[in-house]
């Protein structure tokens, strides 16, 4: 919506933002990648100032189950390893079997 775009503009243009805890962040040297809310937008749907600051538009294809499975297991700090570490902090050991991982992958497509 127009309101969201107006709210994002100062951040993308470069400003100092104060967080809830009082910490300030200068956004001048932050690379912004916008997705989600803009996935159905054409460039002409965006306010001119935002169009100029987000000049590159890339449309991605949906991931497959096989690709989601790779995301779950291949990166060094993958999602399953993160879940194992969080459970370990509660003294719970958890293992994910291949069949369990195969069952998780289609859930991510919903």
**Per-residue tokens: 29:** 């040297």
With bands split at pLDDT 50, 70 and 90, how would you rate the model's confidence at 37?
Answer: low
Average pLDDT value for residue range 2-17: 87
Phi/psi region, residue 91 (left: phi>0; alpha: psi -120 to 50; beta: rest), is: left
Q: Percent of the chain scored above 70 by pLDDT? A: 94
Phi/psi region, residue 22 (left: phi>0; alpha: psi -120 to 50; beta: rest), is: left
Q: For the segment 39-88, what is each residue's pLDDT rounded down to a tens digit?
A: 777 778 888 888 888 878 777 788 888 999 999 999 999 999 999 999 99
Report the pLDDT value the prediction gives residue 110, as an integer from 0 to 100.
67
């Amino acid at each position: 919506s127009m309101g969201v775009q107006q709210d994002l503009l100062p951040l993308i243009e470069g400003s100092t933002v104060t967080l809830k805890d009082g910490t300030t962040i200068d956004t001048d040297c932050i690379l912004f990648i916008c997705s989600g809310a803009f996935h159905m937008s054409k460039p002409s749907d965006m306010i001119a100032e935002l169009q100029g600051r987000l000049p590159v538009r890339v449309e991605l294809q949906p991931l497959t189950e096989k690709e989601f499975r790779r995301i779950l297991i291949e990166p060094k700090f993958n999602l399953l390893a993160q879940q194992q570490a969080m459970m370990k902090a509660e003294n719970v050991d958890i293992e994910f079997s291949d069949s369990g991982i195969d069952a998780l992958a289609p859930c991510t497509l919903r």
